[in-house]
Amino acid sequence: MKPIRTAYSDAYYCETPQPSMRKLSLVACLVKERGYAKLVKPEPVGRKELELIHQKRYVKSVMTGKGELADCAFGFWSESYRDGVLAINGGNLLAAKMALEDGIAANVGQGFHHARAEFGAGFCTFNGLALVAALNPDLSVLVIDCDEHAGDGTAELTVKIPNLTNFSICGSRMGCRESERSIVRHVERRDEAAYRKHLREALDFAASTKPALVIYQAGMDPHEDDPLARSQMTGDFLRYRDQFVMETLALELALPFFFVLAGGYQEPMAEKLVPLHARTFEIAARVKGQIRQKAHFKPMVQKLDSNIL
């Protein structure tokens, strides 16, 4: 087992009504304590980076807490919430860089996959998955999104960001746009065979397109005890899912990737939800321990000189 370099800072924590940002510090503590992760503090993202993918009016609204868009993602605004979102998105950029250096990295945060260019939704403010692609236009980025809910915001942003592709496997489609670079596969309740087939398809897609970087949304809201789960997959199946995705990416395809927690809403968090997220780190650390040779990865090219919108 080798610890995964993992982006996290205390700024991630925010007293959200849902576990979304409340769970992060508990997960970070546990995975550090158990030796699954080595925590690395990211710099928060700034307005210029965000304006590469989001409308200026929306960015300004969240930054200042003024205007009708300020609280559209969570239903409330506070400085701590804003600072948490900026830190978490800095964590996505840092995790991308570490993934390209180490082969596997993580962010104890969200990808914020429902966030669109013009507004936030579904506990997602600024789309950290699209941001990684927009700031690295020379890298092809594939998102394998296994949250219960399809990444509709990411799918919309694939239209504006040519090096971004999204592959969602979900229990709820969320009206997600489909195209050549936005693939959506739906799973009916407890249909493990279909989920397995879709995972294989996503990884075959990765094998054939050879992205420079993969981002894995290891959502825990498909879990059968989660209040938002329609697919209601078992804990054992989610363990299989994480292991299959990470072993295939790292050991079979040698593709660099980082993962984020994504959704997961069970309470009480410490007993039910946090161990599920921690297990993803445990599996990742085991997989990292099996990588025999250090892969050669391109350095990040984070550009701010072109506004995509």
Residue 141 token pair:
């980025």
Task: Tell me the closest approach of the beta carbon of residue 217 to Zn ion, in angstroms.
Answer: 9
Contacts (Cβ under 8 Å, ≥6 apart) of 195: 169, 187, 231, 233, 237, 241
CB-wise, 62 or 150, nearer to Zn ion?
150
Contact indicator for 191, 120 with CB cutoff of 8 Å = no
CB-wise, 93 or 150, nearer to Zn ion?
150
| Cα–Cα nearest to 170, from 126, 202, 203, 206 | 202
| Cα–Cα nearest to 132, from 285, 258, 262, 5 | 258
Residue 211 token pair:
């992205």
Gyration radius of the chain over CA positions: 17
CB-wise, 49 or 145, nearer to Zn ion?
145
Residue 103 token pair:
């082969």
CB-wise, 174 or 199, nearer to Zn ion?
174
Task: Tell me the closest approach of the beta carbon of residue 33 to Zn ion, in angstroms.
Answer: 27
What DSSP designation does 177 have? Answer: -
Task: Tell me the closest approach of the beta carbon of residue 273 to Zn ion, in angstroms.
Answer: 13
CB-wise, 156 or 221, nearer to Zn ion?
221
CB-wise, 49 or 242, nearer to Zn ion?
242
CB-wise, 120 or 263, nearer to Zn ion?
263
Task: Tell me the closest approach of the beta carbon of residue 150 to Zn ion, in angstroms.
Answer: 9
Task: Tell me the closest approach of the beta carbon of residue 205 to Zn ion, in angstroms.
Answer: 21
Rounded CA separation 64/83 (Å): 11
Tell me the residue number closest to Zn ion, measured at CB. Answer: 263
Task: Tell me the closest approach of the beta carbon of residue 229 to Zn ion, in angstroms.
Answer: 9
**Residues binding Zn ion (CB under 5 A):** 147-149, 221, 263
For residue 268, whether the previous peptide bond is cis, meaning omega lies within 30 degrees of 0, is yes
**How far does Cα 293 stand from its chain's mean position?**
26
Rounded CA separation 263/233 (Å): 14
Task: Tell me the closest approach of the beta carbon of residue 139 to Zn ion, in angstroms.
Answer: 26
| 304 backbone dihedrals φ, ψ, rounded to 5° | -125, 5
